[in-house]
Amino acid sequence: MRERMADEHEPRLMGYADRWSAAPGQQLILYAGGPQGAGTVDLVDLIDEATRTPAAPVSLAPQPLKTGSYLEASVQVPASGSLALWIRPHRLGTRQVVAELGTPGWRLLLALDEDDRAEASVETTSGLLSCRLHTAFQRGSWSLLVAAWEATPSMTTVRLADGRAPGVRARAAGLALPPGIGEVRLGAGSFVGRIALPMLTSSVITTCAPLLDLTTGSELAKHLGADVLALWDASIDPGGCLVTDISGHGHHARAVNRPLAGLIGPGKGTDRTAVQLSPEDLDDARWKETCALTIPEETTSTVLGIRLRTRSQSCVIPVVVRPAGPARGPVAVVLPTFTYLAYANHRQLSEAEYFGDYSRVTDRGITLSPTDVYLNDHRELGLSLYDQRQEGGPVYYSSGRRPVLNFDADYRWWMTGAPRHFAADILLLRWLRSEGFAFDVLTDEDVHAGGAGLLAGYRVVMTGSHPEYISAPERAAVSAYVSGGGRLMYLGGNGFYWVTGVDPRHPHAIEVRRGHAGDWWDNEPGEDVLTSTGEPGGLWRHRGLAPQELLGVGFAAQGWGPAPGYTRLPDSYRDDASWIFAGVETDPVGRCGLALGGAAGDEIDRAAPELGTPPGTLLLATSAGGHSHHYQPATEEAELGAHTVRADMTLRRLGNGGAVFAAGSINWVASLACCDGDIRRVTRNVLSRFLLSPPL
């Protein structure tokens, strides 16, 4: 079911659905773009690769991707007044529009020029009036910027001032600035940097001096009094779709493409009055609807693909079909869709910037697929949480309301040349179906919303290969499930690692703030609170909930050299554990796999009593001593030494009949496709025993 690729002269066929998880009978809205002309759409089962609905005709056309975050609001624009805001530019040396304000009769433009100097201009049908400051802005420094205009019957004046130098002005006769309802737009899609406390006043502010020490919304509102027509304070509801106007006039600003919020502004302390605007932000592609599709009522839980085809191209957009109503099968497989979102449109160039010389972490040659090449060249598809902005700085939000090209059953990751994430997890589902196990498919979003009650009806819950990103409600649901006698099969590595936020106002997206630990980029000090939930971000480990406490193992190391198997340990021969290896005649086990040649590779986990591995957890097997220098300890493990570089296989039994089996490696699932069968046997043995009613 591999996609057909576009030639270089026609738009690429791509699309997205309005949701990643749906129930039988539910309608899906498809948004697709591609070459102008006719196409077809149908539903296919991605597990058994069978067509489920007849092909229907659709009309296709290119659809633009409107990236760039900004704020916009309708306001009452006075004939004379001021527009003021704090700004902190992050990219200089290019012209950037900071703000636009106007009515149908005239427009005020506030910008930074190519020499990093602020300029203000008023444009009407009868002329243009502009002025420019003489002092250039410095990257990363806050400054208060005020543009004012004043119109009299004989003269129109534009003034511009900031907090660092004397203001400037320009004057002209004959330019009318009629008041009226108008629009203000902050950022305008080209400004790169932070803004805080933008305000519109009916008074003409000629100097910044009285305002420089007023760095909270309440201070500014009190000082300006009735002159304030609008004052936008992002600290009131930093996760909201609107930025609150605290003037009392109700001119709340719409936040387009979810600018980064919850940021410390120009004042001291923790006042989170700032938002960060970037031309690369994309929260919702806002494409026109292509068609509606209904999941057939008789569909059992599975993963469907919305298959689009034209004469020259095809693409498949996955949708998880959860069961209608309560649990239908004895097993639930929870696909780690939050992780899929975190890596959505992950670009090889970002990985290369992070690792530098790939020889540190792999001995393989790097081969890019056509999808990887396309993503490297097309940042307008929106960034993953592993991409860094062109102006510098991390990405905190990732949305599913856009084409996600690596959310594809046929995708192969450049580092391993093998399936990873969804492409690996579909192998688990295909193996389960081939073995005759009945199962339902759920997503992280489903468990986040449904909680422990959603899982309670299942005898066994299985994870995918990389459940790295976990929300607080989802973690609580899994913990309650195990504590209540449920049986969990953790078939991955680097799981339950990052605190992940989901805002009900943005249910299609996740938020992650990495704090100052773990790999990849840090956020700025004091800005690790999730705007979506108000909770601290960072590692679950640093919230006192290390993965070991629930799973028995937690992230230890990563690398992409040859992957070894697991050597059995004494606990695996005990009477209460030897059944796991029934029929397995090899030791080590798992020395075969689609990814890196073995089951214990990529990102791997270890047991650690000091981090919460429960007493009595059986250490069944380990890859200790089998990894090359390409495998490096996790950042938070580095000081402990090379002995932490290992994947541990564990079994934890609870007194109420609950149990947790942990594989401790991303590669485990990819090894289910290996012909020698020892990973298949272990997985089959555990699942079969977990399905039995009597306690283990």
Residues 297, 267 share a domain: no
Task: Let me know if residue 415 belongs to a domain.
Answer: no
In degrees, rounded to 5, the angle at the alpha carbon of residue 441 between the alpha carbons of residues 437 and 444 is 140
Residues 79, 145 share a domain: yes
* Helix/strand/coil percentages in the chain, nearest 5: 20, 30, 50
Residues 176, 151 share a domain: yes
pLDDT digits (tens, 9 = 90+) for 304-324: 999 999 999 999 999 999 998
Residues 60, 76 share a domain: no
**CA dist., res. 233 & res. 261, Å (int):** 11
Residues 683, 644 share a domain: yes
Task: Let me know if residue 398 belongs to a domain.
Answer: no
Picking from 248, 277, 306, the residue at the C-terminal end of a domain is 277
Q: Where are the alpha helices (DSSP H) in 646-690?
A: 667-670, 678-690
State the residue for tokens 């991707």.
Answer: 65
**CA dist., res. 494 & res. 585, Å (int):** 28
Q: Is the pTM of this model over 0.85?
A: yes
The total number of structural domains in the chain stands at 3
User: Residue 242: its pLDDT value, please?
Assistant: 96
Task: Let me know if residue 696 belongs to a domain.
Answer: no
Distances in Å between the Cα of 262 and the Cα atoms of 25, 50, 129, 267, 535 are 39, 46, 36, 14, 12
Residues 74, 58 share a domain: no
Single out the residue of 436, 492, 423, 490 nearest to residue 462, CA to CA: 490
Would you give the DSSP letter of residue 88?
Answer: E
Residues 477, 333 share a domain: no
Residues 115, 61 share a domain: no
Picking from 277, 299, 315, the residue at the C-terminal end of a domain is 277
**CA dist., res. 553 & res. 608, Å (int):** 7
DSSP class per residue in 472-541: HHHHHHHHHHHHTT-EEEE--SS-S-EEEB--TTSTTEEE---TTSSSSPPPPTT--B-TTTSSB-SBGG
User: Residue 152: its pLDDT value, please?
Assistant: 86
Domain that holds residue 20: 14-66+289-338
Residues 100, 57 share a domain: no
Do the Cβ atoms of 137 and 117 come closer than 8 Å?
yes
- Regions of the chain where pLDDT drops below 50: none
Take residue 389 and report the two structure tokens written for it: 């902005």
Residues 255, 219 share a domain: yes
Q: Quick one: residue 116, left, alpha or beta (phi over 0 = left, psi -120 to 50 = alpha)?
A: left
User: Residue 327: its pLDDT value, please?
Assistant: 74
Do the Cβ atoms of 428 and 464 come closer than 8 Å?
yes
Report the helix count and the strand count for the chain, using DSSP H and E.
10, 40
Task: Let me know if residue 556 belongs to a domain.
Answer: yes
Three-state SS at 636: helix
Question: Buried b vs exposed e over 424-452: b needs ≥16 C-beta within 10 Å?
Answer: bbbbbbbbbeeeebebbbbbbbbbbbbbb
Task: Let me know if residue 329 belongs to a domain.
Answer: yes
Do the Cβ atoms of 293 and 40 come closer than 8 Å?
no
User: Residue 271: its pLDDT value, please?
Assistant: 86
Task: Let me know if residue 355 belongs to a domain.
Answer: no
| Residues 6 or more apart in contact with residue 33 via CB below 8 angstroms | 11, 13, 14, 15, 60, 61, 62, 63, 287, 403
Residues 304, 273 share a domain: no
Omega of the bond leading into 89 within 30 degrees of 0 (cis): no
Q: What are phi and psi of 35, to 5 degrees?
A: -65, 145
Task: Let me know if residue 449 belongs to a domain.
Answer: yes
Strands (E), 377-419: 397-399
In degrees, rounded to 5, the angle at the alpha carbon of residue 273 between the alpha carbons of residues 271 and 213 is 70
- The amino acid occupying position 348 is Q
**CA dihedral over 149, 150, 155, 160, signed as positive or negative:** negative
Q: What are phi and psi of 288, to 5 degrees?
A: -70, 145
Q: Is 110 exposed, middle or buried (0-12, 13-18, 19+ CB in 10 A)?
A: buried
Task: Find the helix or strand (DSSP H, E) in which 434 lies.
Answer: helix 422-435
**CA dist., res. 333 & res. 327, Å (int):** 12
510 forms beta bridges with: 398
Return the CATH number at 56: 2.60.40.10
Residues 453, 321 share a domain: no
pLDDT digits (tens, 9 = 90+) for 13-43: 999 999 999 999 999 999 999 999 999 999 9
pLDDT digits (tens, 9 = 90+) for 515-531: 877 566 778 888 999 99
Q: What are phi and psi of 550, to 5 degrees?
A: -105, -45
Return the CATH number at 95: 2.60.120.200
Picking from 235, 254, 277, the residue at the C-terminal end of a domain is 277
Q: Where are the alpha helices (DSSP H) in 205-311?
A: 217-224
Task: Let me know if residue 198 belongs to a domain.
Answer: yes
